[in-house]
A = this chain, B = another copy of it.
Amino acid sequence: MASSKRRPERRQEPLSRERIVAAAVGLLDTVGESGLTFRALAERLATGPGAIYWHVTGKTELLVAAIDAVIAPALAGDDTGTTPREAIRALALGVFDAIDAHPWVGTTLAQLPRTGQSPMLRVFERVGRQVRALHVPEAAQFTAASALLSYILGVAGQNAANTRAARPDTDRTEFLDAVASAWGELDPDEYPFTRDVAGQLREHDDRAEFLAGIDLILTGITAGRTRS
Q: Which residues in A have some Cβ–Cβ distance to B below 8 Å?
A: 107, 110-116, 121, 124-125, 128-129, 131-132, 139, 141-147, 149-158, 160-162, 164-165, 179, 182, 190-194, 197, 200-201, 204, 209, 212-213, 215-221, 223-224
12 new A-B pairs (CB below 8 Å) besides A115-B182, A145-B197?
A107-B111, A110-B161, A111-B161, A113-B162, A114-B162, A114-B179, A128-B197, A147-B217, A151-B154, A153-B157, A217-B217, A223-B223
A225 to B107, CA, bound (A): 34
Q: Please tell me which one of the listed residues B158, B164, B223 contacts residue A114 in the complex, with CB atoms under 8 A apart.
A: B158
Residues of B within 8 A of A157 (CB): 110-111, 153-154, 157
Is B200 a contact partner of A124 (Cβ separation < 8 A)? no
Is A216 a contact partner of B209 (Cβ separation < 8 A)? no
